[in-house]
Amino acid sequence: MKKYAMLFLLLLTCSAYAQDAPPVGDYGTRNDIFGAPAFEFSQINGEFAFLAGGRFGWIINHQYVIGAEGYWLANDVPGPSTSSGQKPDLAMGFGGLTLEYIISPYNAVHFSVSNLIGLGAVRYDYIAADDNDDTYWVDEPMLNVYFRITEYFKIGVGVGYRYVADVDLERLENEDLSGFVGKISLNFGTYGKTLIP
């Protein structure tokens, strides 16, 4: 029984290695860059929010990514009522450093975990006041799946959560800007060959 168990573990290990091994002629030492328009779908202040933006980065040895990304609110989202009785729309955006680890990057369909850490700004639209804008911290971990279309293009779909801290704007709290996030990205770069045609 132990022999069969050892054989099973050996086959499993070989299978995992085969998934991560580079294709013939691709030695896994190249560094690449990519850029991508990206779109997020979330809730802000309890309302549907569509954020448009982009991301770019440096891919080290096919698996480690150091990059940056940023987004701005692209649809009308009403803010809470102010002390003057107004209910203006919110204007906001954020961006920062992104770190990402890609799992089995040579497969046609592969996964990654990523995290964006940075700063954002928010204000009430159409209100002229000295204290009408604020900055905040943002942390956005994501789980992503990529569909490789060609050696130079892949589509990314991700889910995650946006944590916001230090919001200090009238009647607006951290929780109003935090929430679950869905993301779609169109990634253009030099990714190398895939193991699966």
How confident is the prediction along the chain (197 residues), in pLDDT tens digits per residue? 434 343 433 333 343 444 445 555 454 567 889 999 999 999 998 899 999 999 999 999 889 999 999 999 999 888 777 666 677 888 899 999 999 999 988 899 999 999 999 999 998 876 655 567 789 999 999 999 999 998 899 999 999 999 999 988 778 889 999 999 999 999 999 876 555 44
State residue 80's pLDDT score.
76
Asked whether residue 40 is domain-assigned, the answer is yes
Asked whether residue 124 is domain-assigned, the answer is yes
State residue 30's pLDDT score.
76
Q: 5: part of which helix (H) or strand (E)?
A: helix 2-20
* Residue numbers of the domain that contains 77: 32-189
Total count of domains within the chain: 1
* CATH of residue 61: 2.40.160.20
State residue 126's pLDDT score.
67
Q: How far is 139 from 99, CA to CA, in rounded Å? A: 11
Asked whether residue 95 is domain-assigned, the answer is yes
Q: Which of 54, 51, 49 is nearest to 38 (CA)?
A: 54
Q: How far is 27 from 46, CA to CA, in rounded Å? A: 49
Asked whether residue 196 is domain-assigned, the answer is no
State residue 79's pLDDT score.
78
Asked whether residue 60 is domain-assigned, the answer is yes
State residue 101's pLDDT score.
97
Asked whether residue 10 is domain-assigned, the answer is no
In DSSP terms, 43 is beta-bridged to: 48
Asked whether residue 21 is domain-assigned, the answer is no
pTM exceeds 0.85, yes or no? no
Q: How far is 68 from 85, CA to CA, in rounded Å? A: 38
Q: Which of 60, 157, 138, 72 is nearest to 100 (CA)?
A: 60
Eight-class DSSP state of 6: H
